[in-house]
Amino acid sequence: MNTPTASFQPDRPKRLIMHGITKQYPGCLANDSIDIDIGVGEIHALLGENGAGKSTLMKIIYGVVKPDAGEITWEGDKIRIKDPAHARKLGVGMVFQHFSLFETLTVTENIALALGDEAKDMKALAEKIRTVSAHYGMALNPERYVNSLSVGERQRVEIVRCLVQDIRLLILDEPTSVLTPQEVDTLFVTLRRLAEEGCSILFISHKLNEVKALCHRATVLRAGRVSGACLPSEEDASSMARMMVGDETPINMDYDKVQGEDIFLQIRGLSRISEDPFGVDLKNINLDVHAGEIVGIAGVAGNGQEELLAALSGEDIIKNHDAIHFPCGPVGNLSPDKRRGKGLAFVPEERLGRGAVPDMSLKDNALLTGFLTGLIKNGMIDHESTESFAKKIIKKFKVKTPNSGTHAKSLSGGNLQKFIIGREIMQNPRLLIAAHPTWGVDIGAATAIHQALIELRDNGAAILIVSEDIDELFQISDRLCAVCDGALSPIKAAPDTTVEEVGRWMAGIFDADVCDAQALETQSVSAQATAGAVQTH
């Protein structure tokens, strides 16, 4: 990731020019006269906080949404992008943050679905997939079924699906959020090669250090308008963040590391065979989480996090009830509400459907898990207290919404995430288990959530965070470990480990001796190569 991207050439031809792009939704001006251009072979970052208008703009480029006003010029010609099929025909490819692959189909079959009539010869397509993926350093076996691929490999399928077409502009939405550090490095090598060959790339990310390392230029959106532009190589993460959120929002906070007190959550020998044919079995999980500390669990999605969270929250009842203990005793046989009654609060992976009911108001969603905090009296809902609780969440966590009567589904993903985690934190739990607490939120909101977590920790709560964001885990965790294929790595104090070591844990390399042996082998090969080069010359 640290390899600098070639410097930007301002005189390069423009592939895409958008001028005066405006899109109005009821009660929301999503895009307000936006101007942006992307050069041939340019890697261009699109930055902005939640609700800034990034999603709407990229959907307009991909033909999912039609603008109300403005002009689009593609390779010198003014056009109207009718739909995604038209966009793909022009050479626009898009990789969404959430993959759209069929797990029971092969790589070739998944890519064929996107090509339609162009994929008549499956054998030729499979060979093209091999050639293209190898050329860009993303080698894929066309015959493998998607359910057998890692998350990083699935992302390769999404990207190669675009590359086997005549791709001219590739749009990537938060592409590194599901990758290990090593996979991020590989992805960046691929993107740089694409750019060198003339492909333009629109890169949407909240990870500003990655933007600085990769992108030629950046356009910053704020409240639906362009608030600034910069050359990332000449900025730092803080200055780019200021363009996004303004000077009044605190960013980049550093937090003291602490040692916990008494054990609150004790996990011993937790094993479980997944009932999902594509799920992951838990393998002898052992972990303690102390009162007054934050423990972070890193891992690439699909390695057992979902199964572990279900076991800890009570969604899945564990046969070995003694595997999970609170101070009150074993809780493996208790339902979610019983566990909440003993001090648990929980933020699930999935916002809509798990964290909140889409068609219910924020007020009613506050009641769903906050009912134990005095919102129900004599078997009746105290509507005034429930309304007050919802308003406090909205105010403290700066949730952008007209009022507490707004349906959950009408909020942006980042704002709904703020509401859900705020609802759990404001119940002052003794144990908070949170999956991806700042997933999809901008840097200002992430800082506010981190501060709330640290405050909860300092008030004596035990906190377990499951996240794919290693930078976040190092920032707020007192101790760290990782999960891979249902097994848990060793756990270390955050200052005593490194991003590289956690990356190895995420890849399933837990044994330090194995890592040392691999390092020695690499050094030996390097030394032999050097000696050979010296002899040759």
Angstrom distance (rounded) from CA 483 to CA 209: 25
Average pLDDT over residues 316-342: 92
- What's the confidence (pLDDT) of residue 514? 41
Using the 8-state DSSP alphabet, how is residue 249 labeled?
Answer: S
Which band of pLDDT confidence, cut at 50, 70 and 90, is reported for residue 247?
Answer: low
- Residue with the bigger pLDDT between 101 and 19: it is 19
Contact 217/231 with Cβ under 8 angstroms? yes
Identify the residue with better confidence: 163 or 462. Answer: 462
105-156 residue pLDDT tens: 999 999 998 887 767 789 999 999 999 988 888 888 999 998 888 777 888 8
Q: What are phi and psi of 513, to 5 degrees?
A: -65, -40
**Which one has a higher pLDDT value, 132 or 242?**
132
Q: What is the pLDDT of residue 58?
A: 92
Element (H, E) at 220: strand 217-222
Q: Count how many residues are written for the chain.
A: 537
**Predicted pLDDT at 90:** 94
The predicted pLDDT at position 535 comes to: 39
Q: What is the pLDDT of residue 513?
A: 43
Q: How many CB atoms lie within 10 A of CB 29?
A: 15
Residue 250 identity (one-letter amino acid): P
pLDDT tens figures, 352-379: 788 999 999 999 999 999 988 888 888 8
Task: Enter the DSSP assignment of 495.
Answer: G
Mean pLDDT calculated for residue range 238-257:
77
pLDDT above 70: residue 68:
yes
Q: Quick one: DSSP state of residue 342? A: T
What proportion of the chain, given as a percentage, has pLDDT over 90? Answer: 56
pLDDT at 524: 39
Strand blocks (E) in 273-429? 282-290, 293-298, 324-326, 329-330, 344-347, 376-377, 380-381
Closest by CA to 234, choosing from 46, 8, 1, is 8
Do β-strands 492-493 and 487-488 pair in parallel, antiparallel, or remain unpaired? unpaired
Q: Which of 5-9, 91-95, 469-473, 508-512 has the lowest mean pLDDT?
A: 5-9
Please report the pLDDT score of residue 252 as a whole number.
61
pLDDT at 320: 84
Cα 10 to Cα 7: distance, rounded to the nearest angstrom:
10
Look over the chain and give the mean of its residue pLDDT values, rounded to a whole number: 87
When mean pLDDT is compared across 37-51, 266-280, 505-519, the lowest value belongs to 505-519
Residue reference for tokens 């790595």:
489
Q: What is the pLDDT of residue 282?
A: 95
**Residue 512 has which token pair?**
């330090």
Burial class (CB in 10 A: 0-12, 13-18, 19+), 134: exposed
Q: Is residue 515 over pLDDT 80?
A: no
Distance of CA 242 to the CA centre of its chain: 22
Angle (CA) 468-224-353 rounded to 5° is 45
Among 456, 436, 273, smallest CA distance to 354 is for: 436
pTM (2 decimals)?
A: 0.71
Strand partners, 294: 463
Give the pLDDT confidence score for residue 314 in this predicted structure. 93
500: helix, strand or coil = helix
Confidence band, pLDDT 50/70/90 cuts, at residue 492: very high
pLDDT in tens, 384-437: 999 999 999 999 988 888 899 999 988 877 788 889 999 999 999 999 999 989
Highest mean pLDDT among 10-19, 261-270, 520-529: 261-270
How large is the average pLDDT for residues 157-174? 89
Distance CA 232, CA 217 (A): 6
How much is the pLDDT for 166?
81
Mean predicted confidence (pLDDT) in 243-259: 77
Q: Which residue has the higher pLDDT, 7 or 112?
A: 112
Question: DSSP assignment, residue 261?
Answer: -
Provide the pLDDT for residue 532.
40
Q: Of the ranges 155-164, 283-292, 321-330, which one carries the lowest mean pLDDT score?
A: 155-164
Q: How far is CA 100 from CA 56, 63, 103, 158, 159, in A?
A: 19, 17, 9, 8, 12
Residues 163 and 136 sit within 8 Å (Cβ to Cβ): yes
Render pLDDT for 29-45 as a digit per residue (tens, 0 to 9).
999 999 999 999 999 99
- Write down the pLDDT at residue 1: 53
Q: How many angstroms separate the CA atoms of 202 and 338, rounded?
A: 47
334-370 exposure pattern, b = at least 16 Cβ within 10 A, e = fewer:
beeeebbeebbbbbbbebeebbbeeeebbbbbbbebb
